[in-house]
C-alpha cells in the first residue's frame, strides 16, 4: 500500500470540495479519497432537499452560503457545467407578528429580497391565507399576512455538483477508493520507543495509519469529512466531534393538485413555486420540477431524538399526522395529493451555534457540523478546509471574501447562534 500525503475519508460534498481546494493549492500532494459507499456523493448529500439560500443570520453562515452560490452560478453560467441550479427563490409565508421578519429584514442590504403584501400573496392560486377557525385553533396556525422572497436562492442537483468536483479531482490526479470503510484511526507516538503500551502520556501523538475494510492505509495527514459518522471515528481517540445527528425525512407528493401548486407563476422566470416555508413550525415545500412533484419536509426539534441508524427510513405516519394537516390548512384541495415516495437522512448538527466545525487535532483535519446546509455552503467549506489544512490565517472564499480561518475552530470560537434553520 503506497503512503499518501493526505487521505480524505468521505466523498460527500465536503470531502470532494476539500480535496479539490487542497490539491489545487498543492498540486504535488498525493491524495487518496476513501468512502465506504460504492461511489461519491451517496451519504447525506444524496438525501438532501437540495435547496440553496443565502438567508442566514450569522455572518459566517451568510458568507459561506453567499459565496458558494456565487461560485456555483459561475460554474453553471460561465464555465458551462450544468449543476441543475434554478433560481426559483425561497418564499417565507409569514403571519403578522413573527421573529423571522426582523431577521430577514436585516439581510436586505446584503442580498436580494422582495417583500410581498397580503394582496399580492392572496393572488397565489390555491393558497388559502386564512385556515378555518377550528383547524387554526387545534394546530395553532395564524393567517398568512405577508411574505418575503429571497431571490438569490433556489434548487440545485447535488449529484451534478458532486460530479463537477469529482471530475476536477480525477483530472488533477487524485485517487479514489470506494467500498472502503475506515474502521479505526490508529494513534501512535511521533517518536516511537518501541515499548509495549505506547503512546504514553508524555509522548507527542499522531494518527499513524487507518484500519479499513481493505487493510491498513497510511498517510502523513488525514481529513475526516464523515458528517454524522465522525463521532464513531473520533470517540475512541478521545477527540470530540462536537456534533449530534437528527433524522430528517422528505416526502414526495404528486398528482394534479401537486402539479398545480408546483406550477405557481409570478415568482420567478420558470413559473415554478419557490422553495416555500409555511408560516408555522418550519414546514416547507420544495418544488421538484424534474419529477413534476413537490417534496415536503421539516426540521423539527423537541420530540425528535438524537438516535442514529445506518440506514434511516422515513415514516408515512409522520407525514400523515404532522405535515399533511399543516399543508391542508393552507392549500386548497391538498387532501387530493398522493404520497409517492419518501426517504430520510441526518442533519449533522452543531447544537450550539449551527455553523460548521472545521478544526485540527494532531495530524487530522475535521470538517463536520454542517447543520442541514452543507451543500449550499459546499464550495466555501472546501476553501476554508484548505486554509485550515495549510495553517493559513485567512480563508479566501469565492467573490473576494476572506474570513478568519480560526472562526470555525473549537478554541476561541465566537460564532453567533444561527436563527434561520430549515
Ligand X SMILES: Cc1cc2nc3c(=O)[nH]c(=O)nc-3n(C[C@H](O)[C@H](O)[C@H](O)COP(=O)(O)OP(=O)(O)OC[C@H]3O[C@@H](n4cnc5c(N)ncnc54)[C@H](O)[C@@H]3O)c2cc1C
Minimum CB–partner distance for residue 291 and ligand X (Å): 16
Stretch that binds ligand X, among 6-14, 73-81, 119-127, 265-273 (CB under 6 A): 6-14
Q: Is 45 in the site for ligand X (CB under 6 A)?
A: yes
* 366-to-180, 241, 244, 302 alpha-carbon distances in Å: 19, 8, 15, 28
At residue 240's C-alpha, the angle toward residues 235 and 246, to 5°, is 85
Minimum CB–partner distance for residue 46 and ligand X (Å): 7
Total number of residues binding ligand X (CB under 6 A)?
A: 39
Q: Is 165 in the site for ligand X (CB under 6 A)?
A: no
Residue/partner pairs of 300-309 with CB below 8 Å, 24 or more apart? 304/246, 304/247, 306/244, 306/245, 306/246, 307/245, 307/247, 308/228, 308/245, 308/346, 309/247
Residue 370 near residue 356, CB atoms below 8 Å: yes
* 31-to-5, 172, 185, 275, 372 alpha-carbon distances in Å: 6, 10, 17, 38, 27
> Nearer Cβ to ligand X, position 264 or 370?
370
Find the binder of ligand X among 19, 50, 113, 147 (CB under 6 A). Answer: 50
Find the binder of ligand X among 131, 150, 287, 345 (CB under 6 A). Answer: 345
Minimum CB–partner distance for residue 145 and ligand X (Å): 26
Phi, psi at residue 141, to the nearest 5°? -100, 150
Q: Is 328 in the site for ligand X (CB under 6 A)?
A: no
Phi, psi at residue 303, to the nearest 5°? 95, -15
Stretch that binds ligand X, among 93-101, 119-127, 200-208, 222-230 (CB under 6 A): 222-230
> Nearer Cβ to ligand X, position 330 or 346?
346
Taking only Cα atoms into account, the Rg of the chain, rounded to an integer number of angstroms, comes to: 22
Closest CA to 51 of 245, 274, 290: 274
Residue 181 near residue 204, CB atoms below 8 Å: no
> Nearer Cβ to ligand X, position 334 or 347?
347
Phi, psi at residue 210, to the nearest 5°? -125, 145
Q: Is 406 in the site for ligand X (CB under 6 A)?
A: no
Interface positions, 369-398, toward ligand X (CB under 6 A):
370, 372-376
Minimum CB–partner distance for residue 16 and ligand X (Å): 7
Minimum CB–partner distance for residue 227 and ligand X (Å): 3
Q: Which residues contact 353 (CB under 8 A, 6 or more apart)?
A: 58, 413, 415, 416, 417, 418
Residue 180 near residue 34, CB atoms below 8 Å: yes
> Nearer Cβ to ligand X, position 131 or 345?
345
Minimum CB–partner distance for residue 356 and ligand X (Å): 9
Find the binder of ligand X among 22, 29, 33, 34 (CB under 6 A). Answer: 34
Q: Which residues contact 119 (CB under 8 A, 6 or more apart)?
A: none
> Nearer Cβ to ligand X, position 9 or 22?
9
Residues 226-265, mask of contacts with ligand X (x by CB under 6 A):
xx-x---x--------------x-x---------------
Q: Is 318 in the site for ligand X (CB under 6 A)?
A: no
Minimum CB–partner distance for residue 120 and ligand X (Å): 26
Q: Which residues contact 51 (CB under 8 A, 6 or more apart)?
A: 90, 153, 154, 155, 156, 275, 286, 376, 422
> Nearer Cβ to ligand X, position 20 or 229?
229
Minimum CB–partner distance for residue 85 and ligand X (Å): 12
3-9 and 31-34: which strand pairing?
parallel
> Nearer Cβ to ligand X, position 50 or 144?
50
Enumerate the β-bridge partners of residue 347.
Answer: 246
Stretch that binds ligand X, among 82-90, 223-231, 254-262, 392-400 (CB under 6 A): 223-231
Minimum CB–partner distance for residue 413 and ligand X (Å): 19
Interface positions, 180-209, toward ligand X (CB under 6 A):
181-182
Residue 70 near residue 168, CB atoms below 8 Å: no
C-alpha cell of residue 314: 422515513
Minimum CB–partner distance for residue 167 and ligand X (Å): 17
Conformational region of residue 179, where left means phi above 0, alpha means psi within -120 to 50, and beta covers everything else: left
Minimum CB–partner distance for residue 180 and ligand X (Å): 6
Footprint on this chain of ligand X (rule: CB under 6 A): 9-15, 34-37, 42-45, 47-51, 181-182, 225-227, 229, 233, 248, 250, 297, 345-347, 370, 372-376
Amino acid at each position: 500500500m503506497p503512503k499518501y500525503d493526505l487521505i480524505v475519508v468521505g466523498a460527500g460534498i465536503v470531502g470532494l470540495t476539500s480535496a479539490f481546494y487542497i490539491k489545487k493549492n498543492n498540486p504535488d500532494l498525493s491524495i487518496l479519497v476513501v468512502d465506504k459507499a460504492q461511489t461519491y456523493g451517496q451519504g447525506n448529500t444524496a438525501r438532501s432537499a437540495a435547496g440553496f439560500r443565502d438567508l442566514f443570520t450569522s455572518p459566517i453562515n451568510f458568507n459561506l452560503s453567499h459565496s458558494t452560490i456565487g461560485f456555483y452560478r459561475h460554474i453553471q453560467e460561465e464555465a458551462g457545467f450544468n449543476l441543475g441550479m434554478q433560481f426559483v427563490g425561497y418564499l417565507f409565508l409569514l403571519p403578522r407578528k413573527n421573529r423571522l421578519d426582523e431577521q430577514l429584514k436585516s439581510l436586505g442590504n446584503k442580498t436580494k429580497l422582495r417583500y410581498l403584501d397580503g394582496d399580492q400573496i392572496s393572488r397565489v392560486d390555491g393558497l388559502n391565507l386564512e385556515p378555518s377557525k377550528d383547524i387554526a385553533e387545534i394546530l395553532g396556525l395564524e393567517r398568512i399576512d405577508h411574505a418575503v422572497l429571497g431571490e438569490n436562492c433556489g434548487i440545485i442537483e447535488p449529484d451534478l455538483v458532486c460530479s463537477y468536483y469529482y471530475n476536477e479531482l480525477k483530472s488533477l490526479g487524485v485517487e479514489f477508493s470506494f467500498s472502503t470503510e475506515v474502521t479505526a484511526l490508529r494513534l501512535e507516538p511521533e517518536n516511537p520507543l518501541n515499548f509495549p503500551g505506547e503512546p504514553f502520556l508524555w509522548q507527542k501523538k499522531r494518527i499513524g495509519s487507518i484500519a479499513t475494510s481493505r487493510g491498513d492505509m497510511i498517510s502523513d495527514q488525514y481529513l475526516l469529512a464523515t458528517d454524522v459518522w465522525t463521532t464513531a471515528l473520533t470517540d475512541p481517540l478521545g477527540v470530540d466531534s462536537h456534533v449530534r445527528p437528527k433524522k430528517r425525512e422528505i416526502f414526495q407528493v404528486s398528482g394534479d393538485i401537486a402539479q398545480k401548486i408546483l406550477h405557481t407563476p409570478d415568482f420567478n422566470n420558470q413559473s415554478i413555486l419557490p422553495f416555500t416555508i409555511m408560516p408555522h413550525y418550519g414546514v416547507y415545500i420544495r418544488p421538484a420540477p424534474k419529477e413534476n412533484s413537490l417534496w415536503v419536509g421539516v426540521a423539527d426539534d423537541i420530540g425528535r431524538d438524537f438516535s442514529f441508524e445506518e440506514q434511516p427510513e422515513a415514516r408515512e405516519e409522520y407525514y400523515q399526522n404532522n405535515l399533511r394537516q399543516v399543508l391542508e390548512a393552507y392549500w386548497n384541495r391538498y387532501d387530493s395529493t398522493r404520497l409517492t415516495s419518501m426517504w430520510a437522512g441526518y442533519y449533522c448538527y452543531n447544537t450550539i451555534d449551527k455553523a460548521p466545525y472545521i478544526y485540527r487535532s494532531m495530524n487530522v483535519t475535521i470538517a463536520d457540523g454542517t447543520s442541514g446546509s452543507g451543500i449550499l455552503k459546499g464550495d466555501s467549506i472546501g476553501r476554508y478546509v484548505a486554509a485550515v489544512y495549510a495553517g493559513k490565517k485567512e480563508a479566501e472564499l469565492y467573490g473576494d471574501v476572506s474570513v478568519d480561518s480560526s472562526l470555525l475552530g473549537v478554541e476561541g470560537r465566537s460564532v453567533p447562534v444561527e436563527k434561520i434553520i430549515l
